[in-house]
Amino acid sequence: MADKSWMLNPKAIRHAKECIHIIKENEGLRLKLSQPDFLQVLHEYVDKLNIRELNQAYSELIAMAGVGNLIHNMPAKAVVAQAIGDNSSPRHHEMIEAANGQSYPKYRNGLRFKGVDRGLPSYG
């Protein structure tokens, strides 16, 4: 289970909400703090969007949440791929376009994309 003790810090929540706001403005998708994999999904959007303000807010959040928590909760293959800079895996780049016009990774955490539920991708 993910350590969510960072959610007790009002400054961390402020940075998380700033990230949520920036993603909503740019992608039209509202992430929720209650998502079990919130930091993982947020990390994926930070990588995908490469927006300075989002990068800054995310850096502040991770400084409070602890980089170890993020790395610990990422799937092992993703951590290794990031550590060595290997994005050549064909599964890494496969995307699926949902009915809402948004594209989502075909696989996340070893699970396959099932659809979109309330604006959030569902994997199983």
Q: Give rounded-to-5 percent helix, strand, coil for the chain.
A: 55, 15, 30
Q: Please check whether residues 108 and 63 belong to one and the same domain.
A: no
pTM: 0.56
Count of domains forming the chain: 2
Partners of residue 112 on adjacent β-strands: 107
Residue 56: give the domain boundaries. Answer: 1-74
* Per-residue model confidence (pLDDT) at position 1: 39
Q: Is residue 93 part of a domain?
A: yes
Q: Please check whether residues 63 and 115 belong to one and the same domain.
A: no
Could you give the CA distance from residue 22 to residue 25 in angstroms, rounded to a whole number? 5
pLDDT in single tens digits along all 124 residues of the chain: 357 888 899 999 999 999 999 999 998 989 999 888 888 889 889 888 889 999 999 988 888 877 655 554 555 445 444 544 444 444 456 777 777 777 778 777 777 888 887 777 788 7
